[in-house]
Structure 1
């Protein structure tokens, strides 16, 4: 039993015995070494492999047939070897022609000589005639036979295969598809193509076409260059306008003190805000000045660069671009570092948090119901600076500005039998001691009048205090069995009061609430609308 291999030759799969495979491989290697250095070598080898595959296909009767040593030797004998080519190199063309084996011609369509389908070209090669004569014959037959000649041409076009490979073109001319003939045919085709291309390059048509293409290219280049210049000028004008008005707005903002977000679509507070003054509520005055200067350079240098680049594009003047560019980048980086250092130092003011708690017991032993009411808002009609930062506001009273904030009130169960009010003031600071001092400086008042508790709607910061996330949280502790009444105006300061029915804060006002073991429960009474005497 012999070992077999599966090989692929020119896209066709064959089964071949091991010894036959070795001989075939050596033969193909010899051909590759012989033609590999030539310009048309790859094309010659491709056609040779196609012819070998064709011969193997003709000899095999099915997919399971195995190519034997005899089949490979027959292919080599038919195609020829490189040694045979070397012997023929010293012989004359007449001697080589006399040795050339003639074979029966086969009809193909010659697509290289075609006008329509290559039928006449193939017939001319088969009968060794001039294809022009056959074309004339078909035209005459078309008129004589009332179109039957055209029908015959179409039938031949469909039935006759076209000569695709070099081996098929050799068969069409009655020549044996040997390696030597395939090489000769391909070289002649390449030579014809080169000569045709050479004639075309030397023709007047090529010269005129080349001049037209060069002229069209030059026109296109000039148009593109003009459009590019116009685009550069337009971009330069846009940069000049943007840079100029940007710098003008920046200088106005720094000089007059208006917010940088004045005309932006995402206005946080309002265009009337005085930005440097607003910063004075957050950081130290000297720090504000340094920060404003740094921000001015950070925003101004890019705008100045836009103005500079725009004038360069429009007027195309010469300057030391490198020195100017490096200077701008250096100043911009210094401003960025300065702003980072300033911001980092100021963020330290919010590092720690502390709080101060004050508790007061309500002096009304016989009171079972406490009425919670909000004091009059004395600052409602005064002008505001327009910003609200974590419930802190600024109001102008007789030319002075007061910082005030909204407290938050909650209700919890008391651990004893008394009503207790706790006020928790909290703030942030660089240290816990500083934060506690800020919290102690917060001013908040409430009044106890028998069964009535009057809460101020605001807490206040001292004049020199800065915003440090200050908060005031009020807790009214109700003993079990005790009742409270929330006046309607208390909706301004109550915040997320827990109750049994999960009633929203806005719906808790104007009602009585009793502290039961399970929590704060709404008390049902016939008339909950009462007048509280102040």
Structure 2
């Protein structure tokens, strides 16, 4: 049994015997070498392969599906080889040899008005397709709608001649390699002549001049629009940079920008000197402000420079100024990084103070918890917030406020108790202890109502050192607490039996049971 291969010819899969494969491969390589790698040659080879696939398909329908050596030899004999049709240039075959093959009816796509039916019929009957169109037009008016129906049926039923081989069959010519090559070359020549005539025509010259003129007009219009757009961008840069520099200077010197909120203007909303005073030591504030001024001011000067160049279009090649500004900006950046790194040491150590207090409410079976009103709400609030901290201005003084956290745990005694833990950082443990002692937090117990302040604050002169206040209420087993709605602001992950989310715990009664805090319908 012979060895077989699977090949793909013009999109159709065939199984071919080994000896037939070798002959077919050699034949195709010979054709490829003859026609070369030009676009015209590739089209010829594509049509030849399509014709070979068509022959193999016809044979497969009547015989076995494996391509044999006899099939390949028959294809080579039918199609011909480059050696067979290598004739003198200009020599033509007799018409009788071209007409040996039986004609097949196709729709002609090269001579069509609608579907190419008349062109195909003209090629089949060897008639002028114009005459057939006239006959169809007359029949259309005489036999309406029979002629139209017949035309539509032919349009649907008759296939279109797509490949070169089908075009040759339509004219009764053998689909040999020579005829395929000749047909494609004639098509290419026809297209080239048509393009040449079009290029030499008056309409082409006029169209070319019109397109060139329209292109010049469009270019000039776009050029003017671009210039206007560049000027607008330049004006925006100039205004933004100018007022931004004014805002920066006023913010650094007097602590507030007088151009804040203007359109297209950079106006810092933070009072820079006062802002830094809450974080760094007083002796480094001035140095830091200078560094920040250069870091922000130099890019604004660059914006002002670019904006004036875009508007006034002057030339300036003084690279020394630009390099100096870049160097100065880098020095300011490095200086600010060094100063910031030195201040990071203020947060190196950590210290805490805990204060536990038994709540004098022996007869209380239920303790009502509520959050006091915000006493700082009516005071001016600074426009910055960090880690649940904010700053308000009260009686001309800036006060730092922090948000405490509240939790509930089971008590080891029969009394309610409150544990308040204050934590802070510092350069040393002693500094952290001093910062912790500057934290002030208040609460009030009246009868069975325990009221918490919504904020803790830092005494005058204190710095931000990541201060925290953690409040833990110890509830004896068998006793109940009621969480007021406002308590949601300070509640922090209270564990309970039902795993209820903190926001859903407010407005409810919670009893301390042996297995943990459990929700109750009422205080009874």
Pair in the same fold by TM > 0.5: yes
Quote the Cα distance in structure 2 between the aligned partners of 1:199 and 1:441: 97
* Alpha-carbon shift at residue 315 of structure 1 (Å): 1.3
* Alpha-carbon shift at residue 244 of structure 1 (Å): 1.7
Aligned counterpart, 2:158: 160
Q: Is the contact between residue 107 and residue 160 of structure 1 (CA under 8 Å) also seen in structure 2?
A: no
Aligned counterpart, 1:128: 126
Aligned counterpart, 1:17: 17
Aligned counterpart, 1:346: 343
Aligned counterpart, 2:481: none
Quote the Cα distance in structure 2 between the aligned partners of 1:146 and 1:459: 99
Q: Say if 1:124 and 1:443 are closer, same or farther in 2 by CA, change over 3 A.
A: closer
* Alpha-carbon shift at residue 475 of structure 1 (Å): 10
* Alpha-carbon shift at residue 368 of structure 1 (Å): 9.0
Give CA deviations for 1:228-281 in whole Å, capped at 9, x if unaligned.
1111111112112211221221222122222799759xxxxx98x864245335
Q: Is the contact between residue 139 and residue 147 of structure 2 (CA under 8 Å) also seen in structure 1?
A: yes
Matched length: 485
Aligned counterpart, 2:190: 192
Of 26-35 and 384-393, more deviation after overlay is shown by: 384-393
Aligned counterpart, 1:203: 201
Q: Say if 1:518 and 1:226 are closer, same or farther in 2 by CA, change over 3 A.
A: closer
Quote the Cα distance in structure 2 between the aligned partners of 1:67 and 1:406: 87
Of 172-181 and 127-136, more deviation after overlay is shown by: 127-136
* Alpha-carbon shift at residue 203 of structure 1 (Å): 1.0
Aligned counterpart, 1:337: 334
**Residue aligned with 1:93, SS:** coil
* Alpha-carbon shift at residue 440 of structure 1 (Å): 6.7
**Residue aligned with 1:111, SS:** coil
Q: Say if 1:426 and 1:190 are closer, same or farther in 2 by CA, change over 3 A.
A: closer
Quote the Cα distance in structure 2 between the aligned partners of 1:118 and 1:294: 82
Q: Say if 1:234 and 1:392 are closer, same or farther in 2 by CA, change over 3 A.
A: closer
Q: Say if 1:430 and 1:136 are closer, same or farther in 2 by CA, change over 3 A.
A: same
**Residue aligned with 1:60, SS:** helix
Aligned counterpart, 1:7: 7
Q: Is the contact between residue 410 and residue 475 of structure 1 (CA under 8 Å) also seen in structure 2?
A: yes
* Alpha-carbon shift at residue 289 of structure 1 (Å): 0.9
State how 1:148-297 maps to structure 2 within 5 Å.
148-258=146-256, 275-277=272-274, 279-297=276-294
Quote the Cα distance in structure 1 between the aligned partners of 2:169 and 2:408: 108
Q: Is the contact between residue 47 and residue 182 of structure 1 (CA under 8 Å) also seen in structure 2?
A: yes
Within the candidate set 89, 96, 115, 1:117 is matched to 115
Quote the Cα distance in structure 1 between the aligned partners of 2:409 and 2:168: 108
State how 1:310-459 maps to structure 2 within 5 Å.
310-320=307-317, 322-354=319-351, 427-436=424-433
Q: Say if 1:330 and 1:62 are closer, same or farther in 2 by CA, change over 3 A.
A: farther
Aligned counterpart, 2:88: 89
Aligned counterpart, 1:76: 76
* Alpha-carbon shift at residue 204 of structure 1 (Å): 0.9
Q: Is the contact between residue 161 and residue 167 of structure 2 (CA under 8 Å) also seen in structure 1?
A: yes
Q: Say if 1:131 and 1:330 are closer, same or farther in 2 by CA, change over 3 A.
A: same
Give CA deviations for 1:106-137 in whole Å, capped at 9, x if unaligned.
14322212233223322332333333233333
Quote the Cα distance in structure 2 between the aligned partners of 1:197 and 1:10: 31
Q: Say if 1:291 and 1:136 are closer, same or farther in 2 by CA, change over 3 A.
A: same
Q: Is the contact between residue 20 and residue 69 of structure 1 (CA under 8 Å) also seen in structure 2?
A: yes
Aligned counterpart, 1:31: 31
Quote the Cα distance in structure 2 between the aligned partners of 1:36 and 1:171: 25
Quote the Cα distance in structure 2 between the aligned partners of 1:433 and 1:342: 22
Give CA deviations for 1:333-376 in whole Å, capped at 9, x if unaligned.
22222222222212212211335789999xxxxx999xxxxxxx
Q: Is the contact between residue 259 and residue 275 of structure 1 (CA under 8 Å) also seen in structure 2?
A: no
Q: Say if 1:27 and 1:158 are closer, same or farther in 2 by CA, change over 3 A.
A: same
* Alpha-carbon shift at residue 435 of structure 1 (Å): 3.4
Quote the Cα distance in structure 2 between the aligned partners of 1:459 and 1:138: 100
Unaligned runs of 5+ in 1: 265-269, 362-366, 370-379, 447-455, 481-490, 509-516, 520-534
Of 116-125 and 420-429, more deviation after overlay is shown by: 420-429
**Structure 1 residue 307 corresponds to structure 2 residue 326:** no
**Residue aligned with 1:185, SS:** helix
* Alpha-carbon shift at residue 197 of structure 1 (Å): 1.0
Quote the Cα distance in structure 2 between the aligned partners of 1:347 and 1:310: 39
Aligned counterpart, 1:100: 97
TM-score (norm 1): 0.70
**Residue aligned with 1:83, SS:** coil
Q: How big is the alpha-carbon RMSD for the aligned residues of Structure 1 and Structure 2? A: 5.5
Q: Is the contact between residue 20 and residue 72 of structure 1 (CA under 8 Å) also seen in structure 2?
A: yes
* Alpha-carbon shift at residue 202 of structure 1 (Å): 1.0
Q: Is the contact between residue 168 and residue 175 of structure 2 (CA under 8 Å) also seen in structure 1?
A: yes
